[in-house]
Amino acid sequence: MFPLQTSKPETYSMRIRKAVFPVAGLGTRFLPATKAIPKEMLPVVDRPVIQHVVDEARAAGIEHFIFVTGRNKGTIEDHFDIAFELDHTLASRNRHADLALLADDLPGAGQTSFTRQQAPLGLGHAVWCARELVGDEPFAVLLPDMLHHGIEPCLKGMIEQHAKTRANSVSVYAVPMEQTPSYGIIDAVPLADGSQQIRNMVEKPAAGTAPSNLAISGRYVLSPKIFDILGRQQKGAGGEIQLTDAMLTLLETEKFLAHIFDGEVFDTGTKIGFLTANVAYALARPEFGSLARSEIEKLLARRQNT
């Protein structure tokens, strides 16, 4: 069980306690797997993708987990609830290790909230749907299909940066320059303290025009002012209400810092990103990483010999 931390109301104002997980997207890049199963529930090794991302938020000290869901996403809510019959059966069979595993992954009572986006109008609209649950305090957003694999959880570093600076924050990672047309890219200037202040964000820049090779990786720490902006936001690229457009408006009045994540980032919303994430997470597992490696090496050797 997560420890039930309860902050004193007077400390609420600036500390990041709440995280929003927009899980209302249709996952069309992963059909047919996502026809009946939310892409967030597909397993990376033995845990649903969404569990990996909730674990990252938990490791960063998040106390309240807000899921913006849509139709056909009910299994996500079930995953973060007690499965009474399963627990009962495991207990009757003395499967205590499995019971402990399930209990460890479960948020405490009252630590989750679920709201529905009703229509997939874009990431910005999904975040706006969480406004009543977040209230008037800075908060985190984690895109659940983006897995960040590294020694330090990505969001933890961002929250530490926010504690020092009170600035908005966007996570980025270095991609090969020739791949920048596939990403949201930031334009940032170095500050005296070594941090990078963002002055622009460009969605999928044309080849040769990217201001840097730093791609937005799907973790944000945002001021609640973003909700007012999102509430007025017109549709942007793809006919959707875009979070990046609202952040660019907020950038006119508030500071944004880049948090450079130096681990690996996997887009599990794509088939190849999902497969690569499975390999990377399997190799990193202490109990069977070396076995996974030897199986992969055997597969590769067989294909080289044919």
Q: Which is nearer to ligand UTP, 25 or 138 (CB)?
A: 25
From 7-15, 48-56, 120-128, 283-291, span contacting ligand UTP (CB under 6 A)? 120-128
Other Cβ atoms less than 10 A from the Cβ of 227: the count is 20
> Among 42, 57, 123, 134, which residue interacts with ligand UTP (rule: CB under 6 A)?
123
Smallest separation, CB 278 to ligand UTP (Å): 18
> Among 50, 66, 140, 143, which residue interacts with ligand UTP (rule: CB under 6 A)?
143
Smallest separation, CB 275 to ligand UTP (Å): 15
Structure token digits, residue 246: 């609202």
Binding residues for ligand UTP, rule CB under 6 A, total 20
Residues 249-278 that bind ligand UTP (CB under 6 A): 269
The contact pattern for ligand UTP, residues 5-34, with x = CB under 6 A and - = no contact, is -----------------xxxxxxxx-----
Is cis: bond before 144, omega within 30 of 0?
no
Smallest separation, CB 299 to ligand UTP (Å): 28
> Among 99, 121, 167, 280, which residue interacts with ligand UTP (rule: CB under 6 A)?
121
Smallest separation, CB 238 to ligand UTP (Å): 8
From 92-100, 122-130, 155-163, 201-209, span contacting ligand UTP (CB under 6 A)? 122-130
Cα separation, 272 vs 267, in Å, equals 8
Smallest separation, CB 41 to ligand UTP (Å): 12
> Among 17, 145, 175, 273, which residue interacts with ligand UTP (rule: CB under 6 A)?
145
With binding defined as CB under 6 A, does residue 247 bind ligand UTP?
no
Cα separation, 301 vs 306, in Å, equals 9
Q: Which is nearer to ligand UTP, 125 or 131 (CB)?
A: 125
Positions touching ligand UTP (CB under 6 A) are 22-29, 68, 117, 120-123, 125-126, 143-145, 269
